[in-house]
Chain A
Amino acid sequence: MTTLWLTILAVALANAAIKASGPVLVGGKEIPPRASAVISLLAPALLAALVVTEAFGEDGALVLDEKALGVGVAGIALLLRAPVLVAVFLAALTAALARAFV
């Protein structure tokens, strides 16, 4: 069990260091406009990458499975202006139903 605890501590420290790095690096300085133009686009870039890797990535391969189907249904719900919770719930429900019956 000691290995587990050491791993947990190491990951905790590394994670804290990663999270601290950005804010400490930029300090309280004004960001030059060119840099802030890039930084402002980090959000859509990161989110789009998170969506596709979580929806279609499975152990280093691209798959189209029940989970991806659920995310697709959530996307359609959002296009139809469904509330956030409904869309997320539909994703889980679709994935669960597809796994149970298909």
Chain B
Amino acid sequence: MGRTPETEREDEGAGHRGAYYSGARAALPFALATGLLGVSFGVLAGSLGWGALAAVASSVLICSGSAQFAVAAVLGAGGGPLAAIVAAVLLNARFGPMGLAVGPYLKGGPLRRALEGQAVIDASWALASRGGGRFDREFMIGASAPQVVAWIGGTAVGMLGGDFVGDPERRGLDAIFPAFFLVLLVEELRGGRSAIAVALIAAVLALLLVPHAPPGVPVIAACAAALFGLRRSR
């Protein structure tokens, strides 16, 4: 919030430990939302007859709300495993461009970079964005930690504790995620006019594609709006 280049330089001086910690702290509100969503995923998986072990294992191994809800939705509607896998891959394809963006700020050889790339989660990635294409590696990894814990813990609670959350939709939980992406978008828009122009183009592209393309594709296609950056840089 309101980071100036000056305060940012001070943060860097505070050392890596501090950055991991501030990332974790900044992610707490999102971890709370993620935990609640994890509970609703656990309840959903339970209602579909997944065993507790399978539900929790999916949260540990896949560790991605969008992919797991997609798998549950496709399998739950009687779809085959291939359809479930394709849906999950399309939804998570956005981590491709996100990884390209943080890539230069990660450390080490290919293996370590591949491992560090696993810390890319929507909220952490956006929180760690420092404008102008720069990213704070330690902040992002720190921000992912509480969210991963909350997601796995939430899944277990939803699975075992059953139904105290009730129908996630009736509790309005499905509105949490778009609202929280909106929060992050508002932060990004402070980055200036090109950011606003790109956001508008991307939103229109995505909306136009929603009725015609499989879920996940509109988000990937909307990345094309970032090509607006070529125009700016002559």
Contacts and interface: CB of A to CB of B under 8 A. Distances in A.
Contacts of A87: 179, 182-183
Given A7-B85, A47-B185, A56-B207, A27 B113 contact: yes
Contacts of A37: 133, 229-230, 232-233
Interface stretch (B11-19, B86-94, B146-154, B155-163): B86-94
Interface in A32-57: 33-34, 36-57
Contacts of A56: 207, 210
B176 A21 contact: no
Residue of B97, B115, B202 most packed against chain A (CB within 10 A): B202
Contact of A95 (B113, B175, B203): B175
Nearest to B233: A37
Is chain B's binding surface mostly helix, strand, loop or mixed?
Answer: helix
Contact of A60 (B57, B215, B219, B224): B215
A69 B130 CA distance: 30
B225 to A, nearest CB: 4
A54 B66 CA distance: 11
Contact of A11 (B33, B62, B104): B62
A49 B191 contact: no
A99 B170 contact: yes
Contacts, number: 305
Q: Interface size class for chain A? A: 35 or more
B169 A99 contact: yes
A17 B102 CA distance: 16
Interface in B177-194: 177-186, 188-189, 191, 194
A33 B229 CA distance: 10
Closest 6 CB pairs of A and B: A22-B99, A40-B133, A96-B172, A91-B179, A95-B172, A26-B103
27 contacts: A8-B58, A11-B62, A12-B61, A14-B89, A15-B63, A23-B106, A24-B103, A26-B100, A37-B233, A39-B133, A41-B198, A41-B225, A43-B195, A47-B185, A48-B199, A50-B219, A54-B181, A60-B214, A61-B210, A66-B172, A71-B179, A71-B182, A75-B182, A91-B175, A91-B176, A95-B172, A100-B170
Interface of B: 29, 32-33, 50-51, 54, 57-58, 61-64, 67-68, 71, 75, 81, 84-85, 88-89, 92-104, 106-107, 110, 113-118, 120, 122, 125-126, 129, 131-134, 169-186, 188-189, 191, 194-196, 198-203, 205-207, 210-211, 214-215, 218-219, 222-230, 232-233
Interface of A: 1, 3-12, 14-16, 18-31, 33-34, 36-57, 60-62, 66-67, 70-71, 74-75, 78, 84-85, 87-88, 90-97, 99-100
